[in-house]
Structures are given as C-alpha cells and as structure tokens.
C-alpha cells in the first residue's frame, strides 16, 4: 500500500467527514440567528452555504500542504546530536562470539486482501458512472429543448415553451459558436397571462445572471464524487432551495417585480404544475419547484427582524437618567 494512496484516502475521508458535520452546523447557526431576530437574507445564506462547501473541500488540502511543508521530525541536525561524539567512547575490551541461532521455520502469514485499492477503484467507478449518467441526461435534455417551440431569443439566450405539466426551469450548456447556450423553459399555462409570463422569464434569467446554472455543474461533480454520501445530496438540495429564494429576493429588492404580482405568479405556478409530473432528471439544470407557502409569504412579506430587549445594565442606566431628569424638573418647578 503506497503512501500516496494512503494520503489520498485520508484526504477523501476528511472531506467526507466535513461534509457530514459542516452543513448542519451552518444551518443551525442560521436558524439561531433567525430565532434571535437577526436573520440573514437569502443571498447571504447562499454565500454561507457556498463558503461551507468551499471550506469542506479546501481545508483538508490546506492542512495536507501545511503538513508537507512543516517538518515533523527533530529540529536539530545530525551533526549537532550526540551521535558525533560516538568516536570518543572507549573501545570494547572483549568481542562477543557470534552465537548461531537455530534455523526456525518461518510460517508465512496469510496475505490480507487489498481493501484500500478495491475501495478506491469502487469509488472511481461509481463516481464516474454517476457523473457520466448525469451528463448523458443533460445532452438528452439539450436535444429536447431544441425541438420545443421557441418564443424569443436574445443573443445566446433562448426562451422556449415546455410541454404540458412541465415546470419552469433554466439550463446552461457549454457550446461554441453562436448557438444558444442559455435556455429558459416556461410552462404553456403561463402564456395566457402576460404578467406571469414576464415574471417567470425574469426569475429564470436571474438564475443565469447569478451563474447558478454554471455552478450546477460543480454540484454535479460534488454529488458524483460523493455519490454514497447523504450529506452531499442534502447540501446540494439546500443550495438549490437557497438559489430560488435568492432569485425571488433579488427581483423584489431591485424593483423589477412587485411583491403582490410576484406572489400571485408563484401561486399560479404552484397550481399549474401537476403533482405527477417530475422535474427534469438532470443535475446541471436549475428547475424551479412548485413554490410552497413559505416561499410565497417570503416574497410577499419580507422578514422583519425582532427587536432585542435591552440588557439589564442599559435598563438600569436609563432608569437612573430618567430619575435624575425627573428630580431636576421638580427642583426647577419649585
């Protein structure tokens, strides 16, 4: 078993451990801040989730680099050690005779199966198969999008009408030339309402502006490399939900969408999607799931931070100041 393979195995297991520990701690911290009346916005929470992912993947690499640079042995050289004084020791007065040991039959220990190489091979095959399957589905989705009726196209962005019961989603494909690489799919039920159609297109275009469709490939690699890890899938789903809330928040905060109209659009999108219709089975796409009650209410009513009660030293000092003012007024009235 080579040292390089052992180092890669320890690095992989450390990243897997951080993926299991760091996202729940970050989620608990965000929940605690919201309970204390200091909630973060959706865009700030999304940055926290991305920072957690970056920390879980990069921190073991930095630790391994520091361990390779910092010496782990003694900090003195061989010349400075006691070994250089070995020549000053007196020579032995007598030399012991070599004793011939009886030959013993060496029993060969049973060879252990190569567990670590087999596990590494299984992880490579499983991760490669998972990523390849997602990329094949993504290419199949591209062919499906090219066959859909196109409503509008600006530059390399194409807006198409999806099939019946298909939710709105956005996808990005790395393509060369002038062919469209950014796609926006709109449900056919929204064609009857011009305002809902406009807001849906704005929401999906916001995914492209925030590079969510580009970062979806990074989430694909994450879930492919840790295809056995539930924490990787949970972190990917958490980031996807935060991306939806960040898009809603950006549209309402910048004034491109009114809160009432946008909440009405979300409600219409939730009612138009059939429960049995699945989302596009690809990881790099950014499907917009049917909005729930929390998403509609967050777009309609922004979170209002609760006011902290004053601590007791401030309360005592303010009470003393009020008493002094009251006494001064009574003296002035006399």
95-154, pLDDT tens digit by residue? Answer: 767 766 665 555 555 555 688 889 999 999 999 999 999 999 999 999 999 999 999 888
* Of 176 and 195, more confident: 195
Report whether pLDDT(21) > 60.
Answer: yes
For residue 73, CA distances in Å to 8, 68, 69, 76, 288 come to 22, 12, 12, 9, 55
Report whether pLDDT(283) > 80.
Answer: no
Sheet holding 182-186, edge to edge: 150-154, 157-161, 182-186, 169-172, 286-287
Report whether pLDDT(186) > 60.
Answer: yes
* 177: region left, alpha or beta (phi > 0 left; psi from -120 to 50 alpha): left
pLDDT at residue 206, rounded to an integer: 94
Lowest mean pLDDT among 66-70, 80-84, 287-291, 310-314: 310-314
Q: Are 16 and 229 in contact (CB under 8 A)?
A: yes
Lowest mean pLDDT among 64-68, 315-319, 323-327: 315-319
Report whether pLDDT(310) > 60.
Answer: no
SS3 of 181, please?
Answer: coil
What is the CB neighbour count within 10 angstroms for residue 94? 5
pLDDT at residue 163, rounded to an integer: 87
Rounded to two decimals, the pTM is: 0.74
Lowest mean pLDDT among 5-14, 111-120, 266-275: 266-275
Q: Taking all residues of the chain, what is their mean pLDDT, rounded to a whole number?
A: 80
* Of 88 and 8, more confident: 8
pLDDT at residue 177, rounded to an integer: 78
d(CA 331, CA 102): 112
Q: What percentage of the chain exceeds 70 in pLDDT?
A: 69
* Of 247 and 288, more confident: 247
Report whether pLDDT(33) > 50.
Answer: yes
Report whether pLDDT(77) > 90.
Answer: no
pLDDT at residue 5, rounded to an integer: 86
Q: At 236, which helix (H) or strand (E)? A: helix 230-253
């Amino acid at each position: 078993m080579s040292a390089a393979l052992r180092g890669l195995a320890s690095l992989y297991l450390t990243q897997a451990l951080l993926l299991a520990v760091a996202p729940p701690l970050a989620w608990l911290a965000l929940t605690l801040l919201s309970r204390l009346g200091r909630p973060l916005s959706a865009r700030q929470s999304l940055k926290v989730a991305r920072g957690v992912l970056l920390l879980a993947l990069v921190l073991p690499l930095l630790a391994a680099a520091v361990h390779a640079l910092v010496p782990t042995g003694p900090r003195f050289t061989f010349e400075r050690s006691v070994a250089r004084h070995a020549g000053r020791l007196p020579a032995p007065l007598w030399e012991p005779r070599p004793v011939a040991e009886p030959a013993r039959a060496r029993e060969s220990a049973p060879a252990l199966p190569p567990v670590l190489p087999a596990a590494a091979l299984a992880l490579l095959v499983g991760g490669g198969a998972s990523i390849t399957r997602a990329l094949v589905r993504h290419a199949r989705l591209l062919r499906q999008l090219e066959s859909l009726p196109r409503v509008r196209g600006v530059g390399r962005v194409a807006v198409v009408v999806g099939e019946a019961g298909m939710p709105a989603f956005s996808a990005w494909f790395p393509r060369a030339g002038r062919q469209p690489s950014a796609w926006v799919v709109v449900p056919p039920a929204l064609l009857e309402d011009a305002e809902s159609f406009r807001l849906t297109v704005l929401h999906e275009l916001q995914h492209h502006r925030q590079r969510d469709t580009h970062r979806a490939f990074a989430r694909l690699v994450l879930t492919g490399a840790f295809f056995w890890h539930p924490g990787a899938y949970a972190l990917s789903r958490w980031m996807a939900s935060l991306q939806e809330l960040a898009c809603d928040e950006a549209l309402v905060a910048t004034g491109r969408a009114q809160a009432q109209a946008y909440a009405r659009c979300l409600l219409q999108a939730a009612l138009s999607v059939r429960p049995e219709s699945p989302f596009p089975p690809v990881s790099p796409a950014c499907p917009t799931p049917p909005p729930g009650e929390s998403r509609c209410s967050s777009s309609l009513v922004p979170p209002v931070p609760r006011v902290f009660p004053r601590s007791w030293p401030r309360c005592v000092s303010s009470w003393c100041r009020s008493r002094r003012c009251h006494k001064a007024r009574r003296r002035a009235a006399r």
